[in-house]
Amino acid sequence: MNAKIEQAKQFFFDVRVEFRKVTWLGRKEIMSLTVVVLITVFVIASFLGIVDIGLSHLVKRIIG
């Protein structure tokens, strides 16, 4: 059981060491990347919505 505790301690120590190596983005970069992601999601959702509506109309014409 003691070995498990030592393994857990070593794991969390290693996690701390790795987190210190991370280059964190600044507020400005985060905001601009968030805008890019939101625009991309909106464009893709719009495209898929238009395709869905078009396919719905096509299926309705074929069926009935």
* The pLDDT of residue 18: 95
d(CA 33, CA 27): 10
pLDDT digits (tens, 9 = 90+) for 4-28: 999 999 999 999 999 999 999 999 9
* The pLDDT of residue 60: 94
Q: Return the DSSP state at 60.
A: H
Q: Please tell me the pTM assigned to this model.
A: 0.63
Whether the CB-CB separation of 25 and 33 falls below 8 Å is answered with yes
Phi-psi region of 31 (alpha: psi -120 to 50; beta: other; left: phi over 0): alpha
Task: Say if residue 1's pLDDT is above 80.
Answer: no
* The pLDDT of residue 58: 95
Task: Say if residue 2's pLDDT is above 90.
Answer: no
